[in-house]
Amino acid sequence: MKQETRKDEIISTAARLFKEKGYSAVTMRDLATSMGIKAASLYNHINSKQEILKAIIISIAEEFTNGMSSIIQSEASNISKLNSIVALHVNITANNTNGMASLNNDWMHLEDQLDYYLQLRNEYEASFLSIIKEGISSSEIKNSNPEIIMFSMLTTLRSLYLWIPKKEDLNANDLANSLSEVLIGGINI
Amino acid sequence: MKQETRKDEIISTAARLFKEKGYSAVTMRDLATSMGIKAASLYNHINSKQEILKAIIISIAEEFTNGMSSIIQSEASNISKLNSIVALHVNITANNTNGMASLNNDWMHLEDQLDYYLQLRNEYEASFLSIIKEGISSSEIKNSNPEIIMFSMLTTLRSLYLWIPKKEDLNANDLANSLSEVLIGGINI
DNA sequence: TCACCAAACTAACAAGCGTTAGTTTAATAT
DNA sequence: ATATTAAACTAACGCTTGTTAGTTTGGTGA
């Protein structure tokens, strides 16, 4: 765990501001003011506003890709893989709530890295869907529409960034377990 | 059903653009180009960019408030009320996919109407939560954390705008039913 | 035929944008 | 003490922003 550089501070401050108003509505002067410096001084540490967005989003996207890769390769049951996906989202989001907001809402403002981001996202969703389909084949999962199941789970998981900060006394494991129960077990008796 | 005015065309075109890039990243010149006119000409029909956002968001928010009000007043079971909420979201979203994107992502750029919007949203969530809590009390719903249940359902429903446009042969009733099954019944066997 | 009017236009505004260039400051290493 | 350097600064750039003012256009009703 390397110590946080000034560039890291800029990136995490930017992520906080991007969460509140979105990438496009946050100016370099806003960011500088939040850091207690002038806008021009930011450029001693970063090359462009774009670069900040890229740094926020791509690193998280790659975390998801790596996590999914481990899950896919494991020998667990498909239901157990879904539980692991829930835990993956809870953990990544708990560690970088602000960044998750940019990933969800500002990915379209990635320029050079947009294609790469979309590739990672498509691969992630394909892996997710294949787990659900295999779970249906093996009778672990109800024979419902697999796209609807994935959509429902994934949108809930993607929105965790809105919800986790409100639970100050958060235990990530407890949340992941409760959420898995609701998402997988349903709510009716 | 009154015929669409030029102002309505501007608002629906704006909603389409706002969905793609967000309110802040869409300029009045972008909007004008999409309409095939010059930016200044927009001001023959609308008073400000703000006003467009307000027109998009507030009308939808009030639709939700009215829908929830009917559901709350009905004599149905709590599970049945949840089914009605799912249908409410599917129907409103199917009729105004682009507007739902602004409601979800650009509500914070409402200025004068921000407080009003937040009031409607808070009331809506309070009603939603009370249905779930009553469902738990009456043993219709598993005794899980009611906030987690609401969070899970609501975030899925709020993300429908991303998903509905991909299903071109959409039957709103079928989608509402399938989604209710997954959200309420869960997915495991 | 002519007055009217909605809806387009051209031109321009002040303010704000991301960014660059060159300079100063203050701490560290020699 | 002196040289080096990271990190701040001031000043300004060219461009884009939302918006206004005043003008032209083309169709409708008297």
Q: What is the pLDDT along chain B (189 residues), one digit of tens a residue?
A: 456 789 999 999 999 999 999 999 999 999 999 999 999 999 999 999 999 999 999 999 999 999 999 999 999 999 999 999 999 999 999 999 999 999 999 999 999 999 999 999 999 999 999 999 999 999 999 999 999 999 999 999 999 999 998 877 778 888 999 899 899 987 777
Distance A19 CA to D5 C1' (A): 35
Give me the phi and psi of A141, to 5 degrees please: -125, 140
Rounded (5°) CA angle B57-B63-B68:
130
Distance (Å, rounded) from C-alpha A175 to C-alpha A80? 16
Using an 8 Å Cβ cutoff, are B86 and B157 in contact?
A: yes
Inter-chain residue contact A141 with B187, CB threshold 8 Å: yes
Inter-chain residue contact A188 with B141, CB threshold 8 Å: yes
Nearest nucleotide (CA of B41 to C1'): C8
Distance (Å, rounded) from C-alpha B101 to C-alpha B66? 20
DSSP per-residue letters across B74-117: S---HHHHHHHHHHHHHHHHHH-HHHHHHHHHSGGG-STTHHHH
pLDDT higher than threshold 70 for residue A43 = yes
Output the pLDDT for position A36. 95
Tens-digit pLDDT profile for residues A14-23? 999 999 999 9
Inter-chain residue contact B79 with A144, CB threshold 8 Å: no
Distance (Å, rounded) from C-alpha B189 to C-alpha B185? 10
Output the pLDDT for position B55. 97
Q: Residues 6 or more apart from B19 whose CB is under 8 A from it?
A: B97, B98, B101, B102, B161
CB atoms within 10 A of CB A70: 10
Distance B20 CA to D8 C1' (A): 38
3-state secondary structure at position B48: coil
Using an 8 Å Cβ cutoff, are B56 and B15 in contact?
A: yes
Q: What is the mean pLDDT of chain A?
A: 94
Output the pLDDT for position B1. 45
Nearest CA in chain A to B188: A141
Q: Name the residue among B156, B163, B187 with its Cβ closest to that of A142.
A: B187
Give me the phi and psi of A44, to 5 degrees please: -75, -15
Return the closest-CA partner of residue B92 out of B3, B172, B19.
B172
Average confidence (pLDDT) over A44-69: 97
Distance A139 CA to C23 C1' (A): 71
Q: Does B25 touch chain A (CB under 8 A)?
A: yes
Residue A171 burial (C-beta neighbours within 10 Å; 0-12, 13-18, 19+): exposed
Amino acid at B134: E
**Which of A77-81, A94-98, B94-98, B167-171 shows the lowest mean pLDDT across its residues?**
B167-171
Helix axis angle, B146-158 relative to B114-137, nearest 10°?
130
Distance (Å, rounded) from C-alpha B71 to C-alpha B123? 14
Inter-chain residue contact B183 with A181, CB threshold 8 Å: no
Output the pLDDT for position A2. 55
What pTM was computed for the model? 0.93
Residue with tokens 């496009």: A24
Nearest nucleotide (CA of B40 to C1'): D19
Binning pLDDT at 50, 70 and 90, where does residue A187 land? confident
CB atoms within 10 A of CB B53: 23
Using an 8 Å Cβ cutoff, are B155 and A152 in contact?
A: no
| Structural tokens at position B158 | 């709020």
Distance (Å, rounded) from C-alpha B21 to C-alpha A109? 8
Average confidence (pLDDT) over A116-121: 98
Helix axis angle, A97-105 relative to A49-73, nearest 10°?
100
**Cα dihedral across residues B155, A172, B148, A139: positive or negative:** positive
Q: Does A189 touch chain B (CB under 8 A)?
A: yes
Distance (Å, rounded) from C-alpha A88 to C-alpha A82? 10
Nearest nucleotide (CA of A43 to C1'): C19
Inter-chain residue contact B148 with A179, CB threshold 8 Å: yes
Closest CA–CA distance from residue B44 to any residue of chain A (Å): 26
Helix axis angle, B97-105 relative to B78-95, nearest 10°?
110
Output the pLDDT for position B171. 84
Q: Name the residue among A22, A105, A183 with its Cβ closest to that of B152.
A: A183
Contacts 24+ apart (CB under 8 A), A77-82: A77/A135, A77/A138, A77/A140, A78/A131, A78/A132, A78/A134, A78/A135, A78/A138, A78/A140, A78/A141, A79/A135, A79/A140, A79/A141, A79/A184, A79/B188, A81/A131, A82/A131, A82/A132, A82/A135, A82/A153, A82/A180, A82/A183, A82/A184
Q: Name the residue among A21, A142, A156 with its Cβ closest to that of B108.
A: A21
Residue to test with chain A: of B89, B187, B189, most A Cβ within 10 A = B187
A181: chain B residues, CB-CB within 8 Å: 144
Q: Does B121 touch chain A (CB under 8 A)?
A: no
pLDDT higher than threshold 70 for residue A3 = no
Nucleotides of D under 7 A from a protein CB: 6-12, 16-22
Distance A9 CA to D16 C1' (A): 29
Return the closest-CA partner of residue A71 out of A55, A56, A91.
A91
Distance B7 CA to D21 C1' (A): 22
